[in-house]
Amino acid sequence: MNTLTGVGVSPGIGFGPAYVLAVQESLVPAPDARHGGDAGAERDRATRALEQVAADLEERGIRTGGEAREILNAQAMMARDPGLAVEVAVLIDDSGATAARAVYEAFGRYRELLAGAGGYLGERVADLDDVRDRAVAVLEGLRMPGVPDHPDHADHTARPYVLIARDLAPADTATLSRDVVSAFVIEQGGPTSHTAILARAMGVPAVVACPGATSIEPGTPVLVDGSSGLVRPAPSEAEVAEATNAAAARKAVLAAASGPGATSDGHAVPLLANIGGPGDVASALEHGAEGIGLYRTEFLFLDRATAPSGQEQESAYLEVLNAFPGGRVIVRTLDAGADKPLAFLPPRGEEPNPALGERGLRLFKINPEIMNEQLGALARAAAQSSAKLQVMAPMVATAEEAAWFVAACGDAGLPSAGVMIEIPSAALRASDLAAEADFLSIGTNDLAQYTFAADRQLGALTMLQDAWQPALLDLIALAAAGAVGRGKSCGVCGEAAGDPVLACVLVGLGVTSLSMAPPALPAVRAALSRHDREQCVLAAQAARAAISPQEARTAARSHLPGLAGLAL
């Protein structure tokens, strides 16, 4: 089979047997499947299968913990439902259905009830279907659907496997780790899809937007290059050795780079970490983050029925602040809206384009009490810590909005209030925004989405989300210049900051700090330390003079000779 090409979204080399996640189509036992005699034995089979499914779900919940455990326990209760058991028994006794068919039909009746109700109950249909599919799989002697969360399940050699799928839901990957998965290869998705972000956070190589990947024969050894995006089924031993040696050499070079981020001529560029909660702090510290450049606070708010209390928020913020005594911690206020809906704050109306709707700061304008609760909790946490807390708002479009948010932060007693540059209007008028705010921070993922009118979740539009697009570089340069002109700082906290080559270009464009997924920090630190500021500026000019992302990449590289030693 030929080499496949996708988009490398999490660097590194992965090698292991292919585990191809089948497209989840439900197995439907034939409507006329009859057990042919012993109804009692058939009822027992059904009962045992449902119990096995329930026990398996509970066991997975214990290993995962947290919110996932509650969801899995609720599913286990569905498998053990007494009403369902009665229906199954009646179908087996009266119509002679096989256990599999009876289970399938019995679930079907509840499915209709729930689906008809819509809303929250409609969403439970997927949970119910999952339980049903598992029970039917057990009865038909097939493997239960889902992602194997132990290497033994893939090929019995206990080697980490290469997980290949059309697409992955975040829940599918909840229980996975580096010991289990050596690489992800996904047919759909883009560089900022959940799989990509999750893979980078786990430090597992990943390739997305890779057509044809699921036609790889299960069990085939696969070599995955998460930098170049190449996926090689059944590689030769020499290919594997070459790739893994290069990766090892690179790792050694990266390990040698340490200390605060700076160019070779001593121009300091603080290297910060993007985190989604206190749980990511350990990884940030391990990779040498000098602080936090983006603390996403959504995790406190999503998937819950009521808003978190001020006290709960305060302790989550304090936990992160305390990990960086004297250091900088930039917290992004709640970034929710129709695209990331909150159960306790439903959208006011139908939004045909949720990415363009009432989200981010716009949601705060409608619900200032949620904002004030969050800002108050942040101020109380800051008062108890020696870390330098900075707070910034997402989805700011105008200087007026910036002024409104900065005033609210001032009222709450917060020392430093900034805004994110994610909307082209904000980049174009960055100088006006910087006059109001204490600092700017560019979110390159959303800025690309809004600049190119290209949905960041759509794999087919990956080309337009390429952070090397010259138009995006122009807007970054404009934003950085706007901040500098007002004596303010301008960081980048999008995924672009984690690309070691682009990081040099960003510094050349005038960006003052870089924040990224923690595993990307060592490569960026090494790349910066091998070039002086002048080289970065020349690379940036060359990239902006290009007319395509490919040309921009090549042009920038020609001014960055130190990359060769890093095997980048």
Q: Could you list the residues that contact other proteins (CB under 8 A)? A: 70, 73-74, 77-78, 81-84, 110, 113-114, 117, 120-121, 124, 128, 305-306, 343-344
| Minimum CB–partner distance for residue 39 and other proteins (Å) | 22
Q: Please, which residues bridge with residue 530 across strands? A: none
- Amino acid identity at 122: G
Number of other CB atoms surrounding residue 276 within 10 Å: 16
The nearer residue to other proteins, 81 or 133, going by C-beta atoms, is: 81
* 274 in a known ligand binding site: no
The smaller minimum CB distance to other proteins, of residues 123 and 265, is found at: 123
- Nearest-5° Cα angle at 351, 346 to 354: 90
Is 493 annotated in the active site?
yes
Greatest distance between any 2 Cα atoms in the chain? 85
Residue 169: count other Cβ atoms within 10 Å of its Cβ: 13
Q: How far is the CB of 50 from other proteins (least distance, A)?
A: 12
Residue 127 CB, nearest approach to other proteins (Å): 10
**What angle is formed at CA 355 by the lines to CA 276 and CA 490, rounded to 5 degrees?**
55
Locus of tokens 């050699």: 157
Does the annotation list 81 as a binding residue?
no
Contact 44, 63 (CB under 8 A): no
Match 């909005």 to its residue by tokens: 401
d(CA 424, CA 395): 10
Residue 505 φ/ψ region, left for φ over 0, alpha for ψ in the -120 to 50 degree band, beta for the rest: alpha
Contact present, 195 and 459 (Cβ < 8 Å): no
Evaluate whether 186 touches 207 at the Cβ level (below 8 Å). yes
Please check if 380 is assigned to a binding site: no
Given the complex with other proteins, which of 106 and 419 has the nearer CB atom?
Answer: 106
Stretch (H or E) spanning 8: strand 7-10
Nearer to other proteins, 120 or 268 (CB): 120
Other beta carbons less than 10 A from residue 387's beta carbon: 22
User: What is the H or E stretch that residue 12 is in?
Assistant: none
Q: Residue written as tokens 């809206």?
A: 337
Dump strand ranges (E) for 141-282: 161-165, 181-186, 206-208, 221-225, 230-233, 271-275
- Residue 77 or 407: the one with the smaller Cβ distance to other proteins is 77
Q: Minimal distance in Å, beta carbon 303 to other proteins? A: 10
Q: What token pair was written down for 367? A: 């619900």
When the beta carbons of 70 and 411 are compared against other proteins, the nearer one is 70
Q: Residue 2 or 306: which CB sits closer to other proteins?
A: 306
- Is 446 annotated in a binding site? The answer is yes
Distance (Å, whole) CA 307 – CA 358: 18
What's the min distance (Å) between Cβ of 120 and other proteins? 6
Smallest gap from residue 114 Cβ to other proteins (A): 6
Closer to other proteins by CB, 81 or 422: give it: 81
**Which pair of structure tokens corresponds to residue 105?**
């039909």
CB of 478 to other proteins, least distance (A): 45
Locate tokens 């920090």: which residue?
Answer: 521
Q: For residues 118 and 368, which CB has a smaller minimum distance to other proteins in the complex? A: 118
Task: Rounding to the nearest 10 degrees, give the CA dihedral for residues 326, 201, 12, 462.
Answer: -110
Catalytic residue among 210, 409, 490, 493: 493
Specify whether the CB–CB gap between 79 and 55 falls below 8 A: no
Q: How far is the CB of 89 from other proteins (least distance, A)?
A: 14
Any residues with CB less than 8 A from the CB of 323 and at least 6 apart, and which? 278, 281, 284, 285
Minimum CB distance to other proteins smaller for 234 or for 343: 343
Q: Directed axis angle between helix 39-64 and helix 99-117, to 10°?
A: 50
Tokens encoding 334: 């709640």
Cα separation, 182 vs 42, in Å, equals 41
Q: Which two tokens stand for residue 497?
A: 């900051």
Least distance to other proteins, CB of residue 117, Å: 5
> Known binder of ligand: residue 456?
yes
Active site residue 210: no
The residues, ordered by sequence, that sit 6+ positions from 243 with a Cβ below 8 Å of its Cβ are 13, 15, 223, 225, 235
Distance CA 427, CA 442 (A): 9
Contact at 8 Å (CB) between 497 and 269? no
Residue 331 DSSP symbol: E
Q: How far apart are CA 562 and CA 209, in angstroms?
A: 30
Find the shortest distance in angstroms from Cβ 96 to other proteins: 24
Binding residues for phosphoenolpyruvate, by number, are 296, 332, 445-446, 456
Catalytic residues: 194, 493
Binding residues for Mg(2+), by number, are 422, 446
Binding residues, by number, are 296, 332, 422, 445-446, 456
